[in-house]
Amino acid sequence: MTKRIALLGHPVAHSISPAFQQAALDSCGIDARYEGWDTPPEDLRIAIERLRSGDLLGANVTVPHKVAAMRLVDRPDALAERVGALNTIVHRNGLLEATNTDVTGILRALDTAEVEVRGAEVLLVGAGGAARAVVVAMRQAGAARVVVANRTPERAAALVTLGGTDLDLRYAPLDPDDVTFRGAASRARVIIQSTSLGMRHGPDEGANPVPGDLMHPGQVAFDLVYVPEETPFLRAAAGAGARPVGGLAMLVHQGAEAFHLWTGIEPPLDVMFDVARAALAARSTGAGGGPEDG
């Protein structure tokens, strides 16, 4: 019987995950289909219940369901609980187990780019679901301090508990004219952009939350947006002499970790990256490519 894996989100048509996940399944000779299930919020419960069918190996979960899905699965693991959001569900013996592979994706993307986080001060732009995974990843990697820059203080404050006792977590207004924000940008070894700002065909396609005059050589600028490959944020970083790191590696690595959980097989990373890059090039005029894509 052909198995299936679903991508639950709304919308999902823009995602390149089906392309590189299907290529990985085919490369490994696994008789399975990776399907996009466009799931409005009111249909989420029904969609997750469908995952209990015997032919479903599990699912990826993307915007806007990563938090809401937590209360609909049977066993979110400690990592998903810590982040407060899931992105991967595994159907095992009739139960729906869940985790958050975004954390692994972030860490592996930074490691591949040879970015040293231990002991660093990090400026994190945004306070959504992707930002929560970033905070947990920075804590695991041994960052010394994370300054969360967000327009809404209340959303940033909700991340404070993720820092624990071993990560100094602070807030700054997302305002280039604010002295706290400017100081955090200047001191940061790594600046991570976790919002949809700069995403092609998004509501703020031309936006860059960190002006180039606040960045400098020696910094790393990591954008979780992967379409376009050179976002306004990354372009400004390169112009200031900082090292830009795009979001495609994070997307593929989180997907590779999910692939391993569903199949028990080591993912063919070369295949996944090659197909992801090709899919990205083919859809370069299309929508999507934000930090929350599954």
**151-192 tens-digit pLDDT:** 988 888 888 788 778 899 999 999 999 999 999 999 999 999
What CATH number is associated with residue 54? 3.40.50.10860
Asked if omega into 228 is within 30° of 0 (cis), the reply is yes
Domain count, the chain: 2
Given this model, what pLDDT does residue 53 score? 94
Q: Are 90 and 96 in contact (CB under 8 A)?
A: yes
Reported as a single tens digit per residue, the pLDDT across 42-98 is 999 999 999 999 999 999 999 889 999 999 999 999 999 999 999 999 999 999 999
Judgement on whether residues 197 and 91 belong to the same structural domain of the protein: no
Residue 289 covered by a domain: no
Parallel, antiparallel or unpaired: strands 243-245 and 95-99: unpaired
Band of pLDDT at residue 286, cut at 50, 70 and 90: low
66 is catalytic: yes
Residue 90 covered by a domain: yes
Given this model, what pLDDT does residue 162 score? 85
Given this model, what pLDDT does residue 287 score? 53
Asked if omega into 18 is within 30° of 0 (cis), the reply is no
Residue 292 covered by a domain: no
Judgement on whether residues 161 and 261 belong to the same structural domain of the protein: no
Judgement on whether residues 240 and 119 belong to the same structural domain of the protein: yes
Judgement on whether residues 22 and 51 belong to the same structural domain of the protein: yes
Question: Which has more confidence, 217 or 282?
Answer: 217
Q: Which whole-number Å values give the CA distances from 85 to 68, 101, 194, 207, 287, in the listed order?
A: 8, 10, 15, 27, 24
Its domain, for residue 8, covers: 3-101+254-282
Residue 160 covered by a domain: yes
Q: How many CA atoms lie within 13 A of 111 on its CB side?
A: 11
Residue 273 covered by a domain: yes
Q: Are 62 and 292 in contact (CB under 8 A)?
A: yes
Q: Which whole-number Å values give the CA distances from 244 to 24, 69, 155, 236, in the listed order?
A: 28, 33, 27, 9
Question: Which helix or strand (DSSP H or E) is residue 92 part of?
Answer: strand 88-92
Judgement on whether residues 139 and 231 belong to the same structural domain of the protein: yes
Judgement on whether residues 124 and 232 belong to the same structural domain of the protein: yes
Residues 6+ apart with CB under 8 A from 149: 123, 124, 125, 126, 156, 171, 172, 173, 174, 181, 184, 209
Judgement on whether residues 14 and 28 belong to the same structural domain of the protein: yes
CA dist 26 and 19 (Å) reads: 11
What average pLDDT does the structure give for the chain? 93
Band of pLDDT at residue 290, cut at 50, 70 and 90: low
Which whole number is the average pLDDT over 32-39?
97
Given this model, what pLDDT does residue 197 score? 86
Residue 293 covered by a domain: no
Q: Pick the catalytic residue: 65, 66, 108, 200?
A: 66
Band of pLDDT at residue 2, cut at 50, 70 and 90: very high
Q: Are 147 and 188 in contact (CB under 8 A)?
A: yes
CA dist 171 and 148 (Å) reads: 5
Given this model, what pLDDT does residue 129 score? 83
Judgement on whether residues 263 and 234 belong to the same structural domain of the protein: no
Judgement on whether residues 79 and 139 belong to the same structural domain of the protein: no
Judgement on whether residues 79 and 122 belong to the same structural domain of the protein: no
pTM for this model (two decimals): 0.91
Reported as a single tens digit per residue, the pLDDT across 109-159 is 999 999 999 999 999 999 988 899 999 999 999 999 999 999 988 888 888
| Share above pLDDT 90 across residues of the chain, in percent, rounded to a whole number | 79
CA dist 180 and 183 (Å) reads: 5
Given this model, what pLDDT does residue 227 score? 85
Judgement on whether residues 54 and 178 belong to the same structural domain of the protein: no
Judgement on whether residues 155 and 219 belong to the same structural domain of the protein: yes
**Residue 221 identity (one-letter amino acid):** A
Residue 294 covered by a domain: no
What CATH number is associated with residue 209? 3.40.50.720
Asked if omega into 64 is within 30° of 0 (cis), the reply is yes
Residue 28 covered by a domain: yes
